[in-house]
Amino acid sequence: MINKNSTIGVVGICGANGNLIARILDERGYNVIGIDSSSKEDCRFIKSLDGYDIELIFGDNPDDEFFEKIDFLVPPLSLAKDHEIFSKAKECNVEILTLEDIVDLFKSEKPVFGITGTNGKTTSIELMKKIAYDNNIIPAEHNLEGMQGNAEFIPILQSRLDGDVGILEIGTFGVPGTVSRITENVGLESGLITNITEDHLNELSGFIEYAKVKGEFIQTLMGKQIIVNANDPTIMGLLKQYNYDGDLITFRVETSSTCTSEKQCVCGENIKIQEIISGSGIYFCRNCGITTPQTDYIATNIDLENRKFDLFTPTDKLEVKMKLDGIHNVYNVLGVIIASHEFLKLPYDKILDSVANFTGVNGRMEHITTINNKDIIVDFAHNPAGVKTVLNAFKNLYDDITTIITISSESGEKGDLEIFESVLDYSKYVIPNSAASQKIAKQYLDKNPSLKDKIILIDIDEKFIKEGTIGTTKEEIKKGITTALTLDCDKIIIIGEAATKFKDVILNL
């Protein structure tokens, strides 16, 4: 039986799960020894262990002395069951605690709010946490530097760390059951869905299957509270299909739209949308009847140039000022204002003060530097809808842009093609910096040689094996930027996860 006098050894302290487990145990008053074969210098998340009373052993594997000190052992989730560490534990009468045991033994003891969606999650999370901090409400933080932390076991463990509330980003790699596993294990009380557009389709048979993975979020919040973007027909279709019966809070953006697109409705038919952002706008499905509804909250009189809009709440009319650019950030800000009022129970004036001073998230429309009078800007956008939305915002800000594509889409060739076509539509010059985008670029040039002055090819390794959505290397990004600097265009936009991961390349230039 585990008790406060027990000493618990955590193997893999430099990994995300091991780090979080050790901190949970220390915060609950247990004696903790963390061990890792990595050196202290190579321990990626070492900073997050500062201030904890955890004995740390680096550059070593568990030995006899380690087993003599401990009563329980928490091995890494990935460790093979026939690994010698298990037989050694048995020999030393040390009981094994699995990650699942930690989750079962230590529940979240605070109100938990979750944010999911295909795009906008990170900006929304960081803004909501800023609002909480500004009002002396402390969110539980995973503090894993450089880790997004929206999937696998990270949100589950994060919810068990110290804090007044949990404000969690909940993502998915498109695998059924992943969202429900997270939401059911964090004690979710309320949540926000930003939007649902195509992503991770390589893992599934189609968009509706992906949407239903996100729909697990709705099912967890049955009978509870959920805040949704009602301009998104996919979200509203899922709510109808699941007969959602909780406290539904809806919002929409009211502005002119000149772009018409099609999106598959949850009922299976295609639905036409007068788009405001990709996949969201004014819609009506002739088959199942879902249509843009009247909503609880409405953003209108949107002035993107001066970064402000009017917000009609159920009881008030507010003027919202922000430092973020783009109509997509109107959606992000709107959802978070509602969440902060409804879940954190804060008055609007306190919320709006924080919104007005929020400058955004690193890697989102982030100006890195200026080289030879050319501004270098990076954005993490890595799926078709995200790219289209972000480039539309850039186009509204700047007359001409050069876009460098570093993405290899998780939706495969279909996603790569959609990304390339959006970049082509919105950019003065296109530099396909990933193997996936260069393949498409060459096909375009074969069919239409007149595009040779717009599509700028560089010498890259076309056999590069992507890592997630990272479709290029540091060296090739340097080639792309160097080429962009020679073009007649003073705004250079680098899109994709690689753009944000390899920012040091830009700074070195």
Report pLDDT digits (tens) over 310-324. 999 999 999 999 999
pLDDT confidence tier of residue 242, bands split at 50, 70 and 90:
very high
Task: Reduce the DSSP state of residue 4 to 3 states and report it.
Answer: coil
Cβ–Cβ under 8 Å, residues 457 and 432: yes
Determine if residue 68 is left, alpha or beta; phi over 0 gives left, psi from -120 to 50 gives alpha, anything else beta: alpha
Least confident of 197-211, 238-252, 366-380: 197-211
Tallying the residues shown for the chain, one arrives at 509
Average pLDDT, the chain: 93
The token duo for 370 is 């200026």
Does pLDDT of 388 surpass 60?
yes
d(CA 451, CA 391): 19
Mean pLDDT of 290-308: 97
pLDDT confidence tier of residue 203, bands split at 50, 70 and 90:
low
Mean pLDDT of 490-500: 91
Longest dimension (CA), the chain: 75
Q: Tens digits of per-residue pLDDT, 121-160?
A: 999 999 999 999 999 999 999 999 878 788 789 999 999 9
Mean pLDDT of 335-342: 98
The token duo for 466 is 């992507």
Kind of pairing, strands 225-229 and 247-253? parallel
For the chain, what percent of residues have pLDDT higher than 90?
77
Closest CA to 152 of 127, 169, 167: 169
In this structure, what are the phi and psi dihedrals at residue 117, rounded to the nearest 5 degrees?
140, 170
In the block, which residue shows the tokens 């509330």?
165
pTM, two decimal places: 0.85
Helices 327-342/384-397 angle, 10° precision: 110
Mean pLDDT of 213-238: 97
pLDDT confidence tier of residue 204, bands split at 50, 70 and 90:
low
d(CA 498, CA 395): 22
In the block, which residue shows the tokens 């509204």?
396
Mean pLDDT of 250-274: 93
Least confident of 195-209, 355-369, 371-385: 195-209
Closest CA to 117 of 39, 193, 216: 193
What single-letter amino acid sits at 106?
F
d(CA 96, CA 306): 58
Comparison of pLDDT for 27 and 383, the residue scoring more: 27
**8-41 burial code (b ≥16 CB/10 A, e <16):** bbbbbbbbbbbbbbbbbbbbeebbbbbbbebeee
Mean pLDDT of 342-355: 98
Task: Reduce the DSSP state of residue 35 to 3 states and report it.
Answer: strand
Q: Tens digits of per-residue pLDDT, 450-473?
A: 999 999 999 888 777 777 788 898
Quote the radius of gyration of the chain (alpha carbons, Å).
24
d(CA 237, CA 492): 38
